[in-house]
Amino acid sequence: MKQVISAVCIHCGHEVEATPTITTCPKCGGILDIKYDYKWISAHVTRETLERRSDRTMWRFREFLPVEGTARRPRLRVGGSPLYDCQNLADRLGIRKLYVKDDGVNPTASLKDRASAMAVVKAEEARADTIACSSTGNAASSLAGNAAAAGFRTYIFVPSRAPKGKVSQLMIFGANVISVKGSYEDTFRLSAEAIDRWGWYNRNAAINPYLMEGKKTVALEIAEQLNWNMTDYVAISVGDGCTISGVWKGFTDLYAAGLIDKLPRLISVQAEGCCPLNRAIQTDTAWEPMEENTIADSIAVGVPRNPDKALRAIRESNGICVNVSDEEILAAMRLLGRTCGVFGEPAGVTGTAGVKKAVELGLIPSDATVTSVVTGNGLKDTANAIAAAGEPIAIAPDMDLLLEAFRKTGGPQ
């Protein structure tokens, strides 16, 4: 991998060789970050080389990824999600432009597929046969799907609150599923112990530094889809903090390689009932654990696993922090559905809820251009979708009953 120099600890600066099995810093336990040779990258990839490429998956950006150019690609089609110019919604929110990146169209219906596809390639390099992770739900279902397609066995730990849709994905993909009666934090600790005991390949968020490199491809795609004209802001929902760090890594990679000449400001959006990272920034103090009190299960992370990278990303980008209530999240589900035809799960639309709130609070100006990433599909959690949008008219097959129902609901007469 000529593009990769090493893996550097973000805590103590210790550098290690970027082998497939690295996890945290051997010296201090800090989180590692893959370091690239941007000279090599800019000599080997330009806007024009990318334009000529027909591969629309995340692997179209292979020079920016920590894999051999010749590595076997996973079979599932990860990445290449659409970026919609949602002028209706931009007008409704009172901003100049709103682009919605719908990552719910990935094979297992969330942005996590970008990380899991990377995990599978690295596990293959490490000659592992079993991959394990703990997850609030989407990392689990995406690992299960991507691993199944590549022939790996998986052990997956989820908190018992994980929505049925996500658990059903795990079962269909043939994962060994352990549903833990406890918080995400409890689930994470048990998985770490099991991974140590049985030596499985570790796909845990933050622990494995390659996962973020997969996630950053969403930023690379956004930049290319915007024709390299970066929006002023990029909004993203935040749980462990790996996604927002990955997004920032993607943009800074492009900047360092000379493909973009402006960096966006990040909008970090968390749920009011669980916002340890945003609170740390807003109060300018060290982060502290919080309860996991929100319907947005994918970002109900009371003890974030990647706080340092996430806080650094938000600060470096001169970012904005917004916390939204569960009601605001449900409202954003309706709004995205009704104005853009995009169906997101609660954590999937939290970024958009944050854009709306940031405008209302005067945190972003009305001439701003914004990209909002929808990180997960709404079909994963239909109970909350119904909670957001309500039940349909339900009647026996009779025209009089239909007329009566229409009279009550203001329908046609």
Ligand X SMILES: *Cc1c(COP(=O)(O)O)cnc(C)c1O
The residues of the shown chain that bind ligand X, judged by CB under 6 A, are: 110, 112, 138, 205, 237-244, 298-299, 301, 345, 347-348, 375-376
- Residue 241 contact partner, candidates ligand X, Zn ion, none, CB within 5 to 8 A by sort of partner: ligand X
Q: Which does 273 bind (CB under 5 to 8 A by kind): Zn ion, ligand X, none?
A: none
DSSP state of 214: H
Partner from Zn ion, ligand X, none binding residue 243, C-beta < 5-8 Å depending on class = ligand X
Q: What whole-number distance in Å separates Cα of residue 286 and Cα of residue 320?
A: 17
Q: Strand (E) positions, 27-76?
A: 32-36
Question: Quick check: 373 and 247 in contact, CB under 8 A?
Answer: yes
DSSP state of 396: -
Residue nearest to ligand X (CB): 376
C-alpha neighbours within 13 Å on the C-beta side of residue 287: 23
Indicate the residue among 110 and 252 with the shorter CB distance to ligand X: 110
Residue placing its CB nearer to Zn ion in the complex, 26 or 151: 26
Q: In what order do the strands lie in the sheet with 97-102?
A: 83-85, 97-102, 369-374, 233-237, 265-271, 320-324
Of 126, 123, 164, nearest to 143 by C-alpha is 123
User: Binding partner of residue 238 among Zn ion, ligand X, none, CB under 5 to 8 Å per kind?
Assistant: ligand X
CB of 189 to ligand X, least distance (A): 17
Which residues lie closer than 8 Å to 152 by C-beta, 6 or more apart?
Answer: 120, 123, 128, 129, 130, 131, 201
**x/- track of binding to Zn ion for residues 27-56 (CB under 5 A):** xx-x--------------------------
Angle at 145 between CA 140 and CA 147, to 5 degrees: 90
Least distance in angstroms from the C-beta of 395 to ligand X = 35
Phi first, then psi: give them for residue 110, nearest 5 degrees. -155, 165
Q: Which does residue 138 touch among ligand X, Zn ion, none (CB within 5 to 8 A, set by kind)? A: ligand X
- The nearer residue to Zn ion, 32 or 303, going by C-beta atoms, is 32
In a 13 Å sphere around the CA of 158, the CA atoms on its Cβ side amount to: 29
Q: What share of the chain is helix, strand, coil (3-state, %, to 5)?
A: 45, 15, 40
Nearer to ligand X, 125 or 345 (CB): 345
Instruction: Choose the contact partner of 348 out of Zn ion, ligand X, none; CB within 5 to 8 A by kind.
Output: ligand X
In angstroms, give the least distance from the CB of 24 to Zn ion.
Answer: 8
The entry of ligand X, Zn ion, none that residue 28 binds, CB within 5 to 8 Å by partner kind: Zn ion
Task: Name the one range near Zn ion by CB under 5 A: 19-27, 41-49, 142-150, 362-370.
Answer: 19-27
Please state the closest distance from residue 122 (CB atom) to Zn ion, in A: 20
- Dump strand ranges (E) for 214-364: 233-237, 265-271, 320-324
Spatial separation of the C-alpha atoms in residues 73 and 167, rounded to whole Å: 26
In angstroms, what is the minimal distance from the CB of 67 to Zn ion? Answer: 24
- Tell me how far, at minimum, the Cβ of 22 lies from Zn ion, in Å: 12
**Which of the stretches 25-33, 261-269, 293-301, 343-351 binds Zn ion when contact is defined by CB under 5 A?**
25-33
- 154 is an annotated ligand-binding site residue: no
- Tell me which of Zn ion, ligand X, none is bound by residue 358, counting a contact when its beta carbon lies within the kind-specific cut-off of 5 to 8 angstroms: none
Residue 233 tokens read as 């802001």
In three-state form (DSSP H/G/I as H, E/B as E, the rest C), the secondary structure along 222-264 is HHHHCCCCCCCEEEEECCCCHHHHHHHHHHHHHHHCCCCCCCC
Of residues 28 and 171, the one with the C-beta less far from Zn ion: 28
CB-based contact 1:66 (threshold 8 Å):
yes
Between 239 and 250, CB nearer to ligand X: 239
Q: Is 130 annotated as a binding residue?
A: no
Distance (Å, whole) CA 395 – CA 402: 7
Residue 26 binding Zn ion, by CB under 5 A: no
Known binding-site positions for pyridoxal 5'-phosphate: 138, 375
Residues in touch with Zn ion (CB under 5 A): 9, 11-12, 14, 25, 27-28, 30
